[in-house]
Structure 1
Amino acid sequence: MQIVISNQTKEPIYEQITNQIRAMILAGELTEGEPIPSMRTLAKDLQVSVITTKRAYEELEKVGLIYSIVGKGSFVAEQNIELMREKKLHAIEEQLTVTIEAAKELGLSLKDLQQVLSMLYEGEE
């Protein structure tokens, strides 16, 4: 499991860990039942505090992405793909709402905004 910590971002380290593990699970890189490194091992590998990795794992457990068994470790939880898709779609809608509000403040038309979105979307493929 490859996690990269950046000191160049304002995002707390535990959130960087949480977001990267979440992304790996949602992308199918980590599968149901697969063990993830122990908090201590991950902390050692990333050269961060165990408290930091503990907080990241707690966040992942809270949203149901992983589960822990005392004495055995932490594992990727079973995922309801449709529910996960719905959550991601909701997050996209929230981000787009903010973007639309900013575009309206600038006086961009819907057509202009659609062109920008199309260019960005096609550039990512």
Structure 2
Amino acid sequence: MDLIIQNSSDEPIYQQMYNQIKDQILSGQLKKDDLLPSIRKLSKELKVSVITTTRAYTELEKDGYVTIVQGKGCYVNSIDNSILEERIYSEIEDNFSQILRAARLVDLSNEEVLNHFKMFMEMEDNDE
């Protein structure tokens, strides 16, 4: 499991860990019943506190991505497709909201936002 922590980021370290592990679960890099590194091991590898790693794992468990078994470790849960779809739609909506707020700050019209989005999609399609 590869995680990259950016100390200069505005995002808290536990949140960076949470997001990257969650993304690896949702993308299939981490599969059902995979054992995550122990809290102590991951803390040492990333040079972060045990408290920070514990918080990331606890948040992942709270949101249903993993199960923590005392004395055994932290295991990846299976993700129900309908739950996965719902979470992805929710993230898309959140991202669209952020984009629209930013667009309003620079007075972009809906049409301009849509044009930017279409351009971005075309660039992504060309990269594939």
- TM-score, length-scaled by structure 1: 0.90
Q: Deviations over 1:8-59 (max 9, x none)?
A: 2111111111110000001000000111101011011111111110011000
Spell out the pairing of 1:20-99 with structure 2 (5 A cutoff).
20-99=20-99
- Change in CA separation of 1:11 and 1:104 when aligned onto 2, cut-off 3 Å: closer
- Change in CA separation of 1:10 and 1:76 when aligned onto 2, cut-off 3 Å: same
> Percent of counterpart pairs with the same letter?
39
Spell out the pairing of 1:101-120 with structure 2 (5 A cutoff).
101-104=101-104, 106-120=106-120
Displacement after TM superposition at 1:102 (Å): 4.2
Code of the aligned partner of 2:26: L
CA RMSD of aligned residues (A): 1.6
Q: Distance in 1 between matches of 2:39 and 2:23?
A: 18
Unmatched 5+ stretches in structure 1: none
- Change in CA separation of 1:120 and 1:29 when aligned onto 2, cut-off 3 Å: same
The alignment partner of 2:24 has SS state of helix
Q: Deviations over 1:70-109 (max 9, x none)?
A: 2211100111122112111122112213423443564433
Code of the aligned partner of 2:45: D
- TM-score, length-scaled by structure 2: 0.88
The alignment partner of 1:35 has SS state of coil
Q: Distance in 2 between matches of 1:56 and 1:4?
A: 14
Displacement after TM superposition at 1:6 (Å): 0.7
Aligned length: 125
Displacement after TM superposition at 1:60 (Å): 0.3
The alignment partner of 2:9 has SS state of coil
The alignment partner of 1:75 has SS state of strand
